[in-house]
Structure 1
Amino acid sequence: LWGVEFLKDTASGRAPDLKGKRVIVIGGGNVAMDVARTAQRLGPQEVRIFCLETREEMPASPWEVEEAEAEGIPIIHRWGVKEIKSPAGQVTGIELKAVARVFDEEGRFAPTYFEDQTRSETCDVVILAIGQRANLQFLTEADGLELTPRGLIKADPETKATSREGVFAGGDVVSGPWIAIAAVADGREAAESIDRYLRGLDLKQGRELPLRPIKEGHWNPLPEKEPRKARAPMPHLPVEKWLEGFQEINLGYEAEQAMAEASRCINCGVCSECLQCVVACEAGAIDHKQKPRTLELEVGAVILAPGFRPFEARRKAEYGYGRYPNVVTSLEFERLLSATGPCAGHVRRPSDGAEPRRLAWIQCVGSRDASIGREYCSYVCCMYAAKQAIIAKEHNPQVEATVFFIDFRAQGKGFDRYYQRARETHGVRFIRSLPSRVTQNPRTHHLEITFVDEHGRIRAEEFDLVVLSVGLRPHPSAERLAQVLGLDTDAYGFIKNPPFQLISTSREGIFACGVYQSPKDIPETVGQASAAAAAAAALLAEARGTMLTKPEYPEERDICTEEPRIGVFVCHCGINIAGVVDVAAVADYARRLPQVIYADHYMFTCSSDSLEKMRQVIQAYGLNRVVVASCSPRTHEALFQENLRKSGLNKYLFEMANIRDQDSWVHQGEPELATEKAKELVKMAVARAAALEPLKELPFTVTPSALVVGNGLSALTAALTIADAGYQVHLAALEERFAFGGLAHKQHYTLEGYEIQPFIRRMVEKVDNHPRIRWWPNTRITSFSGHVGNFRSTLEYPHERRDLQYGAAVIATGGIEYKPTEYLYGRHERVLTQMELENRLATEPEIAAGDLTFVMIQCVGSRSPEHPYCSRVCCGEAIKNALKIKEINPRAHVFILYRDIRTYGLKEIYYKKARDLGVRFIRYEPEEPPTVRADGIRLDISVFDQNLKATLALRADYLVLSAAIRPHPLSAEIAQIFKLPLDADGFFMEAHLKLRPLDFAASGIFLCGLAHSPKFFEESIAQAQGAAARAIGILAQKQLFVGGAVAWVDPLKCVLCLTCMRTCPFGVPRVNAAEGVIQIDPAACQGCGNCASACPRKAIEVFHYRDRQFVSQICAIDLEEMAAS
């Protein structure tokens, strides 16, 4: 039977005979509940409901489900119909199949099943209540109506016109099942179109006009921060009377209850096309008349970076997201922590606004989970949970933070130190367990997490707030993008790339980067984006610069003889500033300051309209200095300085007052005091601006060649990438010719199964034969000088010496494998490192033959007090060799003794594959490491298994050590020559871990590969391409400018104490022997000011940051007035 027809027949007195029969209802919506409850009243033997969804996913209203259960109707979840059994035309039973999932990543209804998991149920009647659709069977091809892929009528969304002239359609036959008000609206639009059609008028002209005029203030504003209120409970008859008939069980509200329910805000603020937003938006940014446009572009390369979306946490119904207000996703919690978030950085519980004390993070929500088709690791979740826990405790030291995890994956540079700091310094508790469920205490809204602890006991703990560390998935638009471009993707929607080329795709000339390639963090994303740019640049080398337009500026005005004429522009920054600070009052105050000629306030000072207005004001008022009171100079100073150049002013005649970060953000609860502070900040900025002076920047010609230091895979890749872009490359190899390829020279295959040596041979051949690459083997660099765009070095190699000039440098010195001193390495012939085993398996595969046992020990030389970093590749290397052993000899026994398995991203698939093939993983703690004893040719290993809580004795034929990656021995020498910093582990230190992962603080020098940190073969290639792109960005400029905000030495004060030479991190100060003073090259100076602050004679100043400018700023503060306030 069909559900709606069954209800109609029953209501019409034609109810089917169900007495004594076994009834099954299929469906999970309100109709299914109505059908089951109606059937229950017709005297059946039993009524049961089977539905696809979990209780939390069911579309039925919660009270409908509760009332059905109260009537004794069982609801069986996660089963779908496979077959209705009806021999001889009579229903006898139903076969069902288990549901894998109901909704896809975008929340669309797309059920999938476990076809091999079935169950059979006996019944006499099956009633289907699974939705409905329009019956269009009466249509034929001759009718000429085009249908959509969903089988609905295709109609113009505005006019309702179909593909056949004079025929219009609307409602469910066009949209599918939808609400009644939409059908009414469609009918109205169709009637308008029919009227126009019959009168011969244009169907669309004027249709976009609003139905009523826009009038200021005729709508009711939506209340802000309205507390969430539950629906008023409906009084009803006693449950035992419900089944006596079809009488109404709800008794209706009393007057007081009705008033409470009617006054409850249901937060109905959905767009109703009233167009009042157009009136409200002062920036004029909203245009309801915009139409889609199609652009055709002729390009030489395409880079895809569609980004990602977090996993939809509702799919893990056991954790209660979407049902319990105090279960939030990690992205939502990040917003709660933000100073600009809903709690101004002070975390509050969504349910009651209380400050939570006990916080829990649940890892791997939407990652490493085969039940939802997400077997991969999302890479970033462990570290952002540690970060959030630390920040939460910094905000409130009373917070108790707990992180539930499987393996803590801190494989990035500096990550393990951060993880240890979270544990040891901040007291974050880490529990190795995956919770089974989260339940809510309905009275307190506290949350109880059930989990199995490390001793195997089932436990439950209560928390105030639970954060779900949700994984990453490709952006929903990426699937369509790949289809349109004809690109191959994997089973999860990530782009497929050729071997060793992470930024390439299955189509030449189309590149991809970021999470679209695989899950990754910010540093890798930034580096990979540069790599994609480099790959595109190689294709476009011949056309480089042909479409560029050089900006033209008016002649710079000479203001040296003018008195200061200052203009002050105060920014609202939307509500970022104006929501706290009275910007109009600040602008009015600025008008009264000395030497201020003009002051006003703007909604967004950085907008193109405001910048144009600023230029007009500068001309009209003859301004010669500008102050902008807005956000941070870190993000906007360059924009405003450029605007001054367009106005004919020197760009150094500009000053910013940061009244957002330093005022409105930190004083949100004190608007009056924040306004006074803004006035003081503006007053100080005006005083400093009056003391500013124009500065000159001098052009110089860039040397269009690069130096690459190293002979590993990263060095080869960087050299080829720069050379392919059209520039000369000097490749200074630190070792002999046969060592080209670095550590990769000793490897044979990747975890994915690709052969490495043929690839390296092709790379070496390309370098050998490239007309723009000159390399010297076994080279030492003995000197370094110069500045970005014009460096000089001396190279010494056997029997020759060479002086080079170049515009940029890439440091790719590589790394080495640690040679262990522990576990009998070097004292027993069958104790090998992973690289040694790999070489033996590739050249002597027979060593894996026979009934052999291989034991592998992880973290040898890593994650120790002496070397507290993760070598990143070790877990993948161990699993790679374990899989190779199993491939050669499936009967071999392989044990991997580990602390955390860190097969991040898509490498997680191979961890699962190893387990499926019988590789056994045994976890140990650093406090109880394995012990090894030789017994002849074999080895006895004893290890305490943290999962079994028992000591295991393993007898091994081979012991394999996953040895750490160490920096190249020459790294320290290179760092000293180039004046480059090293981190605590001896790897080169980048300018910024996240934002500038490939740059040094010294301009024009870049790093990549193992010189940066341990990483896999293909990751080194991508990072080398990224570093090359950064270098190409300099070489592509014919000229650079030096000077401006740089240090200057007063020769009358300098006494050659050499303090500045010892202080400068870039080695810029030099002794001018002829004049007997220190000299600073303005082209090499970075303007950091270390020399100026260290000089005991105060002989050094930095232009634009001179003493008198800061003194003017300090003296502007009215200390007495501030103390009084």
Structure 2
Amino acid sequence: LAVGSIIVAPGFKPYDPNFIEGDYGYNRMANVVTSLEFERILSASGPFQGQILRPSDGHHPVKVAWIQCVGSRKPEICKDYCSSVCCMYATKQAIIAREHDARIQPAIFYMDIRAFGKGFERYYQSAKEKFGVRYVKNMPTPMVRELANGNLVLEYTDDNGKKNYEEFDMLVLSVGLEPSASTKPLAEKLGIELDRFGFCKTDELKPGMTSRPGVYVCGVFNAPMDIPESVQNASSAAYLASKEIATARGTLVVQKKYPQETDVRGQEPRIGVFICRCGTNIARVVDVPGIAEYAKSLPNVVYADEAIYACSTDTQAKMIDLIKKHNLNRMVVASCSPRTHEPLFQDTCREAGLNKFLFEMANIRDQCSWVHATHMPEATDKARDLVRMAVARAGTLEPLYQSPAPLTRTGVVIGGGVAGMVAALGLAEQGFESVLVERTEELGGNLRDIYYTHEKNSDPQALLADLKKQVSRESKIKVYTGAEVKNIAGYVGNYKSTIRTKKGDVDYEHGIVIVATGGKEYKPHGEYLYGKSDKVVTQHKMEELIGRGELDATKLRSVVMIQCVGSREEPNMYCSRVCCTHAVKNALKLKEANPDINVYVLYRDIRTYAMRELVYEEARKQGVLFIKYELAQKPEVTDEDGKLKVKVYDPVIRDELLIPADMLVLSAAIRPQDDAAVLGSTLKVPLNQDRFFMEAHMKLRPLDFVNEGMFLCGLAHAPKFVSESIAQARGAVSRAVTILSQPYLMTGGVVSVVDEDKCVACLTCVRACPFGVPKFGPRNAVVIESAACQGCGICASVCPRKAISVQHYKDGQVVAKSAVLCV
């Protein structure tokens, strides 16, 4: 193959507990399984068809223990790093186990719970409060005792220092991630360097770039990471690889060919129904075989059957064959959410020669099995109703067609921090012009306050200077500082923004929007004497003092750092992700300047994930003291004649400590920008409950907004490191280019249509549309641009003359569905 660039994504392999003989009895005791094996046990296609049974005797376990960090955070076996994902997958498995069987009593033994991702902290709290998952901050000894009945006895020390022996029915080892053996010869062939663990070596401020130009890396081979981050990472790698060959874009594209569409006009409906088990997501609650049998009795249904996974490649091929075999002209799939899977099934229809709009979906997972998990008979009844309604509507569906529309191949990037500058430069490197809008008078955002990273030889200030220089020299980027987006109208491919600048308003037409508005450091006035004592500063301020050489650490004897200030408690129940590493890197800088200084870090959980664990390990070696505190027993700070004292309860010695402090450093939370809601309203995009912008789908579309043509990156999305903001910005560019590089956009389909003969131009729809699409037209009637219409149907619902109808959701189609609800 002759290629312009290479992306390396060989993945990982789970750690093998057999690596250490006697590691918690794995392979010697039948009821000790790895987390991956337990994942299979939970699966409908697993060894017990989705039932949670013990491997030894097939009995239902009641007490199940998870042991964290098996094959991670262990320098003695050269696995110093944190695998990043284990805490959350153990939490997920414990929750699912409880959903499968309410009798199960999950217990998770851990060192630190690292729920650092977006929404993870709330999920962790939900596991404890809603599902009763027990978290035990202790690591049992690896010598497990097996009883005659197959039960397992763990030995550990409780919070009071007392040795405990606890019996469990099953033991799950949360194994870490490691590179497979095949990656070493692969790296040698590609000429790229690996680190001492076998992961690909990259620079902190050059994420995704290997030691060899033109070869890029993504996923776990880069460093341990979860699915959302892997997807973002992959988009970033795609950007890096494609920028090298941007001039050749489209030259080797082959359009997918579909068979000629079958004309079904005038034919009686012949409906095929497929009921998905979705593993156990649906089947453990809903009687899937019974629903499939019921579907056969419904009017116009010619064929009905069940599938383990309707979205699998095998099932898709089977559907195509069945459509042809039974001459089906409508298809219904009862499975999960149409938001994620409807395009897949529509494409299946096209491959079988059916118009893709002759498809209907019943969501019996999200709307049924998930929300009625404890009411199985009622859930089956509801699923039966949903399928009956879907079949009734399917019989009324008509073929619809889309048409090509031109697009504007430029972009607007909102926010001039590191993410915004990288995004604007990325668009330019891909050949597209953009406008970079920054509200302050200077580019750089939070990067202006970062002087060093946890990695040696990384220079954020040099990166900042380089980015600013590149932006100023790039002819394809127009920069507006002291400006903001005042208004935006239009639709994907054809937006028009009004930008308020110092010299007046500027109108700009563009095809996409990238939101990179950043975040800000929380100023904890009223907490821990912040604002009352000049000896109390935030981590950012401490970094600034160190970075600018304004702090003489040799004059300090004791520095105390308090973590999670403004994070991980209501109303801000999220982890700010960077604070633990921030504290550790500052502590090491202080130790470097003054080895005799005492540095105390008061923490709730240390969340130095992935390779950042090595920095935490180094801090402990250098004598930094870490003291855990609980939310219910926060540290107390007093100022006695200008001398700070910090009182904290130490769970190790089970007594209070009174620590004198020359300086107190607060690891303050990252907050979203104050006007995020205003911008969200302008762009008509949602925010989550923590007021960060919300992506379309956490795993499938982590960089997209629900609105087509709008993307997000950086701190506007959630707290993250500079390297992660850079990767996200590149990923957002990659997503944007999928639109900008198209010759045209397909419009139409599920859109609103106006009957001009009925329209009286009352403008009710104009006032009601949240997207501002309906306009008063030249023929004294409202005009709706199909390319801009989102198909929400609000205009049709408020029209007093019934002059507006939504294609694919006409009154007759909706009525047909609702009419059979109470049959």
TM-score by length of 1: 0.66
Structure 2 unaligned runs (5+)? 372-378
Shift of 1:947: 1.8
Shift of 1:587: 13
Shift of 1:427: 2.3
Structure 2 residue 29 is matched with structure 1 residue 324? yes
Structure 2 residue 94 is matched with structure 1 residue 389? yes
Deviates more, 1:541-550 or 1:986-995: 986-995
Shift of 1:820: 1.6
| Cα deviation 1:264-312 (Å, max 9, x = unaligned) | xxxxxxxxxxxxxxxxxxxxxxxxxxxxxxxxx1111111111111111
Q: How has the CA–CA distance of structure 1 residues 455 and 1059 changed in structure 2, closer, same or farther, with 3 Å as cutoff?
A: farther
Cα separation, 1, equivalents of 2:687 and 2:646: 37
Query: In structure 1, the residue corresponding to 2:498 is in which secondary structure?
Result: strand
Query: In structure 1, the residue corresponding to 2:434 is in which secondary structure?
Result: strand
Structure 1 unaligned runs (5+)? 1-296, 667-673, 1120-1125
Cα separation, 1, equivalents of 2:622 and 2:306: 69
Aligned counterpart for 1:411 among listed residues 116, 119, 129:
116
Partner residue in 1 for 2:748: 1043
Shift of 1:376: 0.8
Say which structure, 1 or 2, has more relative contact order (CA 8 Å, 6+ apart). 2
Q: How has the CA–CA distance of structure 1 residues 716 and 346 changed in structure 2, closer, same or farther, with 3 Å as cutoff?
A: same
Shift of 1:826: 2.1
Q: How has the CA–CA distance of structure 1 residues 658 and 733 changed in structure 2, closer, same or farther, with 3 Å as cutoff?
A: closer
Partner residue in 2 for 1:35: none
Aligned counterpart for 2:225 among listed residues 517, 520, 538:
520
Query: In structure 2, the residue corresponding to 1:407 is in which secondary structure?
Result: coil
Query: In structure 2, the residue corresponding to 1:927 is in which secondary structure?
Result: helix
Partner residue in 2 for 1:800: 504
| Cα deviation 1:370-417 (Å, max 9, x = unaligned) | 222211111111112222222222333333222111111111111111
Percent identical pairs in the alignment equals 45
Cα separation, 2, equivalents of 1:608 and 1:780: 47
Where do 1:45-444 residues align within 5 Å?
297-316=1-20, 317-437=22-142, 439-444=144-149
Deviates more, 1:937-946 or 1:812-821: 937-946
Structure 2 residue 451 is matched with structure 1 residue 745? no
Deviates more, 1:801-810 or 1:332-341: 332-341
Q: How has the CA–CA distance of structure 1 residues 398 and 471 changed in structure 2, closer, same or farther, with 3 Å as cutoff?
A: same
Structure 2 residue 557 is matched with structure 1 residue 852? yes
Amino acid at match of 1:346: Q
Q: Do the aligned partners of 2:91 and 2:124 also contact (CA within 8 Å) in 1?
A: yes
Query: In structure 2, the residue corresponding to 1:420 is in which secondary structure?
Result: helix
Structure 2 residue 679 is matched with structure 1 residue 974? yes
Q: How has the CA–CA distance of structure 1 residues 752 and 445 changed in structure 2, closer, same or farther, with 3 Å as cutoff?
A: same
Cα separation, 1, equivalents of 2:413 and 2:259: 40
Look at both structures and tell me which one has the larger radius of gyration over its CA atoms: 1
Partner residue in 1 for 2:164: 459
Cα separation, 2, equivalents of 1:919 and 1:734: 40
Structure 2 residue 795 is matched with structure 1 residue 1087? no
Q: Do the aligned partners of 2:763 and 2:782 also contact (CA within 8 Å) in 1?
A: no
Cα separation, 2, equivalents of 1:300 and 1:391: 45
Cα separation, 2, equivalents of 1:660 and 1:985: 27
Cα separation, 1, equivalents of 2:821 and 2:299: 13
Structure 2 residue 668 is matched with structure 1 residue 963? yes
Amino acid at match of 1:732: V
Query: In structure 1, the residue corresponding to 2:174 is in which secondary structure?
Result: strand
Partner residue in 2 for 1:984: 689
Shift of 1:893: 1.8
Partner residue in 1 for 2:376: none
Query: In structure 2, the residue corresponding to 1:402 is in which secondary structure?
Result: strand
Query: In structure 2, the residue corresponding to 1:849 is in which secondary structure?
Result: helix
Where do 1:869-948 residues align within 5 Å?
869-948=574-653
Q: Do the aligned partners of 1:347 and 1:356 also contact (CA within 8 Å) in 2?
A: yes
Cα separation, 2, equivalents of 1:944 and 1:587: 63
| Cα deviation 1:680-727 (Å, max 9, x = unaligned) | 998876654432112232321121011100011000111111110111
Shift of 1:836: 1.2
| Cα deviation 1:854-888 (Å, max 9, x = unaligned) | 11111112122232211111110111011111122
Deviates more, 1:638-647 or 1:741-750: 638-647
Query: In structure 1, the residue corresponding to 2:627 is in which secondary structure?
Result: strand
Partner residue in 1 for 2:522: 818
Partner residue in 1 for 2:408: 703
Aligned counterpart for 1:725 among listed residues 427, 430, 433:
430
Deviates more, 1:837-846 or 1:1073-1082: 1073-1082
Q: Do the aligned partners of 1:840 and 1:847 also contact (CA within 8 Å) in 2?
A: no
Cα separation, 2, equivalents of 1:559 and 1:508: 54
Partner residue in 1 for 2:776: 1072
Aligned counterpart for 2:480 among listed residues 776, 794, 797:
776
Structure 2 residue 432 is matched with structure 1 residue 756? no
Cα separation, 2, equivalents of 1:805 and 1:842: 42
Q: Do the aligned partners of 1:349 and 1:355 also contact (CA within 8 Å) in 2?
A: yes
Q: Do the aligned partners of 1:1061 and 1:1069 also contact (CA within 8 Å) in 2?
A: no
RMSD: 3.9
Deviates more, 1:682-691 or 1:862-871: 682-691
Query: In structure 2, the residue corresponding to 1:1045 is in which secondary structure?
Result: coil
Aligned counterpart for 2:187 among listed residues 482, 496, 500:
482
Cα separation, 1, equivalents of 2:734 and 2:299: 48
Aligned counterpart for 1:1028 among listed residues 733, 736, 745:
733
Q: Do the aligned partners of 2:520 and 2:673 also contact (CA within 8 Å) in 1?
A: yes
Cα separation, 2, equivalents of 1:335 and 1:1054: 61
Q: Do the aligned partners of 1:450 and 1:461 also contact (CA within 8 Å) in 2?
A: yes
Amino acid at match of 2:7: I
Structure 2 residue 810 is matched with structure 1 residue 1106? yes
Shift of 1:611: 7.6
Query: In structure 2, the residue corresponding to 1:437 is in which secondary structure?
Result: coil
| Cα deviation 1:169-222 (Å, max 9, x = unaligned) | xxxxxxxxxxxxxxxxxxxxxxxxxxxxxxxxxxxxxxxxxxxxxxxxxxxxxx
Structure 2 residue 703 is matched with structure 1 residue 993? no
Shift of 1:1115: 6.1
Q: How has the CA–CA distance of structure 1 residues 732 and 482 changed in structure 2, closer, same or farther, with 3 Å as cutoff?
A: same
Cα separation, 2, equivalents of 1:756 and 1:765: 14
Amino acid at match of 1:314: N
Cα separation, 2, equivalents of 1:852 and 1:662: 60
TM-score by length of 2: 0.88
Shift of 1:676: 13
Cα separation, 1, equivalents of 2:560 and 2:65: 36
Query: In structure 1, the residue corresponding to 2:677 is in which secondary structure?
Result: helix
Shift of 1:786: 0.8
Amino acid at match of 2:518: G
Partner residue in 2 for 1:104: none
Shift of 1:599: 9.7
Q: Do the aligned partners of 2:567 and 2:576 also contact (CA within 8 Å) in 1?
A: yes
Q: Do the aligned partners of 2:43 and 2:279 also contact (CA within 8 Å) in 1?
A: no
Cα separation, 2, equivalents of 1:734 and 1:727: 23
Cα separation, 2, equivalents of 1:1085 and 1:398: 49
Q: How has the CA–CA distance of structure 1 residues 1042 and 984 changed in structure 2, closer, same or farther, with 3 Å as cutoff?
A: same
Shift of 1:1088: 4.2
Cα separation, 2, equivalents of 1:857 and 1:600: 59
Deviates more, 1:431-440 or 1:674-683: 674-683
Q: How has the CA–CA distance of structure 1 residues 455 and 1056 changed in structure 2, closer, same or farther, with 3 Å as cutoff?
A: farther
Amino acid at match of 2:507: D
Where do 1:822-837 residues align within 5 Å?
822-837=527-542
Structure 2 residue 421 is matched with structure 1 residue 716? yes
Shift of 1:1098: 7.2
Q: How has the CA–CA distance of structure 1 residues 359 and 1053 changed in structure 2, closer, same or farther, with 3 Å as cutoff?
A: farther
Q: Do the aligned partners of 1:845 and 1:888 also contact (CA within 8 Å) in 2?
A: no
| Cα deviation 1:890-919 (Å, max 9, x = unaligned) | 222211111111101110001010010111
Partner residue in 2 for 1:627: 331
Q: How has the CA–CA distance of structure 1 residues 566 and 575 changed in structure 2, closer, same or farther, with 3 Å as cutoff?
A: same
